Chains A and B, each alone.
Chain A
Amino acid sequence: MSSNSNVIFSRPEAMHDTVTHYCPGCTHGIIHRLVAEALDELGVRDKAVGVAPVGCSVLIYNYINCDFMEAPHGRAPALATGFKRMRPDMTVFTYQGDGDLASIGMGEIVHAANRGEKFTTIFVNNAIYGMTGGQMAPTTMPQQITTTSPKGRDVSQVGYPIRMAEILSALVTPSYIERVAVHTPQHILKAKKAIYKAFKYQVEGRCYSMVEVLSTCPTNWGYTPQEATKWLADNMVPYYELKCFKDPEKTEGF
Chain B
Amino acid sequence: MKGNEAIAEAAIRAGAEGYFCYPITPQSEVAEYLTKRMPEVGGVFLQGESEVAVGNMLFGAASTGKRVFTTSSSPGISLMQESISYMAGAHLPAVLVNIMRGGPGLGGILPAQSDYFQAVKGGGHGDYRLLVLAPSTVQEAVDLMMLSFDLADKYRNPVMMIGDGMIGQMMEAVEFPEEKEIKRNNPDESDWAVNGAKDRKPRIIKSLFLDPHQLEDNSWLLDDKYEQMKREEVRYELYKVNAKNKLLIVSYGTMARICQTVIDELESEGISVGLFRPITLYPYPMKELKKEAVKKNIKTVLTVEMSTAQMLEDVERSILGKKQIEFFGRTGGIVPTPDEVKSKVLELIKPKKKAKTSEKKKRGKNVK
Q: Do A and B come from one complex?
A: yes
Contact with B along A83-115 (1 / 0, CB 8 A): 111110010000000000000000110010000
Task: Knowing A69-B60, A78-B48, say if A83 contacts B204 (CB, 8 Å).
Answer: no
In the bound assembly, the distance between CA atoms of A49 and B203 in angstroms comes to 9
Contact of B197 among A67, A80, A81, A108 (CB under 8 A): A67
Q: With both chains docked as a complex, state the minimum distance between the C-beta of A53 and any C-beta of chain B, in angstroms.
A: 11
Across the interface, which residues of A come within 8 angstroms of B52, CB to CB? 75, 78, 107-108
Asked whether A245 is an interface residue with its Cβ less than 8 Å from the other chain, the reply is: no
Residue of A nearest to B203 (CB): A67
User: Which residues between 313 and 333 of chain B lie within 8 Å of chain A, taking CB atoms?
Assistant: none
Separation of A50 and B208 alpha carbons in the complex (Å)? 16
Across-interface contacts of A49 in B (CB, < 8 A): 63, 194, 196
B68 close to A (CB within 8 Å): yes
Name, among A51, A75, A84, the residue most crowded by chain B CB atoms within 10 Å (CB to CB).
Answer: A75
Q: Which residues of B contact A56 (CB under 8 A)?
A: none
In the complex, A51→B59 CA distance in Å? 11
CB neighbors of B among A37-82 (8 A): 45-49, 51-52, 58, 61, 65-72, 75, 78-82
A86 touches B197 (CB 8 A): no
CB distance from A54 to the nearest CB of B (A): 9
The reply to whether A72 and B82 contact each other, CB–CB distance below 8 Å, is: yes
Q: Does chain A have a CB within 8 A of B202?
A: yes
Return B52 CB to nearest CB of chain A, in Å. Answer: 7
* B: interface residue count bin: 35 or more
B280 at the interface (CB under 8 A from A): no
Whether A108 contacts B44 by the Cβ 8 Å rule is no
Contact indicator per residue, chain B 46-89, by CB within 8 Å of chain A (1) or not (0): 10111011111111111110101000000000000011001000
Having A70-B90, A81-B48, A90-B195, one finds 5 other A-B pairs with CB under 8 Å, namely A46-B196, A48-B197, A68-B204, A70-B207, A108-B53
**Which bucket holds chain A's interface residue count?**
20 to 34
Q: Which residues of A contact B56 (CB under 8 A)?
A: 71-72, 75, 78-79, 82, 108
Contact B48 A87 (CB under 8 A): no
A68 near B60 (CB under 8 angstroms)? Answer: no
Return chain B residues, CB-CB under 8 Å to A75: 52-53, 56, 59, 82-83
- Complex: how many Å from CA A67 to CA B194? 6
Least Cβ–Cβ distance between B274 and chain A, in angstroms:
45
Report 25 cross-chain contacts, Cβ distance below 8 Å, ordered by A residue.
A46-B197, A61-B204, A65-B202, A66-B202, A68-B205, A69-B59, A70-B207, A72-B56, A75-B59, A78-B53, A78-B60, A79-B60, A82-B20, A82-B46, A82-B68, A83-B61, A85-B46, A85-B57, A86-B60, A86-B68, A87-B64, A87-B187, A87-B195, A107-B50, A108-B49
Among A46, A70, A87, point to the contact of B204 (Cβ < 8 A).
Answer: A70
Smallest beta-carbon distance A81→chain B, Å:
5
Question: Does B287 interact with chain A (Cβ within 8 Å)?
Answer: no
User: In angstroms, how far is the closest chain A Cβ from the Cβ of B212?
Assistant: 17
A69 touches B202 (CB 8 A): no
CB-based nearest A residue for B66: A86
Interface assignment of B18: CB less than 8 Å from any CB of chain A: yes
What mask results when residues 209 to 228 of chain B are scored 1 for a CB within 8 Å of chain A, else 0? 00000000000000000000
Q: Once the chains bind, are B49 and A107 in contact (CB under 8 Å)? A: yes
Does residue B17 face the partner (Cβ distance < 8 Å to A)?
yes
**Residue from B83, B197, B207 having most chain A Cβ neighbours under 10 A:** B197
- Residues of chain A within 8 A of B296, CB atoms compared: none
Alpha-carbon gap, A233 to B199, bound state (A): 43
Complex Cα spacing A108 to B63, Å = 18
Q: What residues on A are CB-neighbors of B86 within 8 Å?
A: 71-72
Residues in B whose Cβ lies below 8 Å from that of A66: 196-197, 202
Identify A69's interface contact among B17, B54, B206, CB under 8 A. Answer: B206
B350 at the interface (CB under 8 A from A): no
Could you tell me the distance between the alpha carbons of A58 and B197 in the complex, rounded to whole angstroms?
A: 19
Chain B proximity of A143: nearest CB distance (Å): 33
CA of A51 to CA of B197, assembled, Å: 14
B198 interface residue, CB < 8 Å from A? yes
Q: Which 8 pairs of residues, A with B, have the shortest CB-CB distance? A: A82-B60, A79-B60, A78-B56, A82-B57, A82-B61, A46-B198, A70-B206, A83-B60
A71 to B207: give the CA distance in the assembly, Å.
9
Contacts of B63 in A (CB 8 A): 49, 69, 79, 82-83
Contact of B196 with A79 in the complex, beta carbons under 8 Å: no
